[in-house]
């Protein structure tokens, strides 16, 4: 008898995280959502009907470990993890607040490490050949001056993905990442409200449109599936061709 995979999506109450949970559920997974916002989490649960929801600040390492303790006590170890929770906190480089920088790294990088490590311990103990997908960004490779902490964190996620993939390969646990380009979510609201910013983004996007959250989710679901059984340590960029383009045309 084949059991449905148990999938945890962090930052799963909205945007890309919500779409990832939806896609994984369609692929047959039992989904668990974790999010920092209890109200948004409750709204998402009404439509996604997850197995469980948990309020968690992914930038708090003790809270992350407690989250996994509770999940395992109530539902058993997970077999799929999507480390989606993240923040950008833009600011001017010369006056960028160090506390903001630390907060971004705690959520976007430290939280990913703690969750990956803790999920992997549960998988190894249970003999689960699991899959972990981290949310990176094109800003792991290219950069924007007004989001230095975000760029640093996503570059870290790219390298952490490789390191974790190597460490966990003997346990048949695959670790990959997805690097979105400009995706039409709340995080892109400031760009959507500015015609000049839209034009700039399109000048660097060969497919000439913003991506949809579901297009990221489909890549995540693929990496979690057995269709990606020989892929580990990779970052797949879902960016409308941006990483391939040298000069804007």
Which residue's entry shows tokens 């001017």? 92
Alpha-carbon radius of gyration of the chain: 17
Q: Could you confirm whether 150 is annotated as catalytic?
A: yes
In the set 18, 150, 237, 247, the catalytic residue is 150
Report DSSP state, residue 12.
T
Determine how β-strand 80-83 pairs with β-strand 52-55. unpaired
Which residue's entry shows tokens 């003999």? 127
Q: State the Cα angle at 81 between 223 and 73, rounded to 5°.
A: 150
CB 206 within 8 A of CB 241: yes
Looking at the DSSP bridge assignments, the partners of residue 176 are 133
Strand order in the sheet with 30-35: 52-55, 30-35, 6-10, 80-83, 131-135, 174-180, 235-238
CB 181 within 8 A of CB 242: yes
**Nearest in space to 172 (alpha carbons), one of 133, 127, 113, 135:** 127
CA distance 53 to 33: 5
Catalytic residue IDs: 150
């Amino acid at each position: 008898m084949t059991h449905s995979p148990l999938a945890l999506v962090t930052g799963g109450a909205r945007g890309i995280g919500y779409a990832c949970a939806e896609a994984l559920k369609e692929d047959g997974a039992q989904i668990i959502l974790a999010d920092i916002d209890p109200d948004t989490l409750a709204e998402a649960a009404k439509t996604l009907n997850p197995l469980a929801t948990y309020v968690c600040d992914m930038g708090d390492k003790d809270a992350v470990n407690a989250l996994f303790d509770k999940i395992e006590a109530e539902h058993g170890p997970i077999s799929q993890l999507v480390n989606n929770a993240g923040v950008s906190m833009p600011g001017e480089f010369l006056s960028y607040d160090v506390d903001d920088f630390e907060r971004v790294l705690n959520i976007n990088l430290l939280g990913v490490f703690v969750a990956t490590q803790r999920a992997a311990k549960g998988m190894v103990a249970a003999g689960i050949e699991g899959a972990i997908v981290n949310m990176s960004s094109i800003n792991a490779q290219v950069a924007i001056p007004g989001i230095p902490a975000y760029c640093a964190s996503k570059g870290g996620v790219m390298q952490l993905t490789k390191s974790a993939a190597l460490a966990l390969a003997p346990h048949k646990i695959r670790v990959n990442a997805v690097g979105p380009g400009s995706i039409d979510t709340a995080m892109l609201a400031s760009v959507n409200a500015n015609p000049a910013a839209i034009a700039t983004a399109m000048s660097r996007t060969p497919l000439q449109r913003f991506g949809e959250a579901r297009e990221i989710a489909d890549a995540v679901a693929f990496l979690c599936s057995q269709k990606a059984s020989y892929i580990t340590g990779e970052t797949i960029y879902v960016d409308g061709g941006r990483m391939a383009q040298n000069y804007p045309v």
